[in-house]
């Protein structure tokens, strides 16, 4: 899906991502203010959700990331103020959560980081005012957590050694 393809579509409220799509490019759905539902068709071949892909989609309340996704680009869900549920499929292959990916998602209250994640970018969950619990899957492969990835009020469950303030 091309860069900025649907950006600023103010009336778009539902998106069904076809199973053959491998990348949602940068700013593809940025500031689609009415977007409240994103559905990934199965079996998804999506590998990358690009930088700012869903940034400032103010009505997006939940997202289920397909297991095929390896990279969440920087600020891909930044500023989605109503986003309170982020789920990763149980067989997730996610390796990197980019800088500021979920920053300013002020309704997000908990998240389970898949075992496959190796890197969490700077300010990834910054200014997520309601985020109180971050749980790490057993056998976590996490090796790098960049500066200010989490706000100081977060409680960690099963944190690997590289998590600061654990």
- The runs of H, that is alpha helices, within the chain are none
Residue 38: CATH number of its domain: 3.80.10.10
Q: What is the CB neighbour count within 10 angstroms for residue 22? A: 11
| Per-residue confidence (pLDDT) for residue 155, from 0 to 100 | 93
Q: Which residues 6+ apart lie within 8 Å of 58 measured at CB? A: 33, 79, 80, 81, 82
Confidence of residue 5 (pLDDT cuts 50, 70, 90): low
* pLDDT (average), residues 96-114: 97
> Please, what's the largest Cα pairwise distance for the chain?
45
| Per-residue confidence (pLDDT) for residue 53, from 0 to 100 | 96
Using CA atoms, how far apart are residues 29 and 37, in angstroms rounded to an integer? 12
Confidence (pTM): 0.94
Q: Which residue has the tokens 């900025």?
A: 4
| Domain span at 31 | 1-117+125-166
Q: Of the candidates 51, 53, 103, which has an alpha carbon nearest to the alpha carbon of residue 78? A: 103
> Is there a cis peptide before residue 41, judged by omega within 30 degrees of 0?
no
| Per-residue confidence (pLDDT) for residue 83, from 0 to 100 | 97
Q: How many domains does the chain have?
A: 1
Mind listing the pLDDT tens digit for each residue in 15-71?
A: 999 999 999 999 999 999 999 999 999 999 999 999 999 999 999 999 999 999 999
Instruction: Say if residue 143's pLDDT is above 60.
Output: yes
| Per-residue confidence (pLDDT) for residue 4, from 0 to 100 | 53
């Amino acid at each position: 899906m091309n860069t900025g393809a649907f950006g600023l579509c103010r009336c778009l409220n539902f998106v069904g991502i076809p199973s053959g799509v491998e990348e949602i490019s940068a700013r593809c759905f940025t500031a689609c203010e009415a977007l409240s539902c994103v559905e990934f068709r199965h079996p998804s071949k999506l590998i990358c959700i690009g930088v700012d892909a869903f940034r400032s989609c103010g009505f997006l309340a939940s997202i289920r990331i397909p297991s095929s996704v390896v990279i969440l680009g920087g600020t891909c869900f930044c500023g989605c103020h109503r986003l309170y549920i982020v789920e990763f499929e149980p067989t997730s292959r996610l390796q990197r959560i980019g800088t500021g990916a979920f920053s300013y998602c002020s309704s997000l209250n908990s998240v389970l980081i898949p075992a496959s994640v190796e890197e969490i970018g700077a300010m990834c969950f910054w200014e997520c005012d309601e985020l109180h619990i971050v749980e790490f899957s057993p056998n976590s492969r996490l090796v790098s957590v960049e500066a200010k990835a989490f706000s100081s009020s977060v409680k960690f469950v099963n944190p690997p050694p590289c998590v600061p303030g654990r």
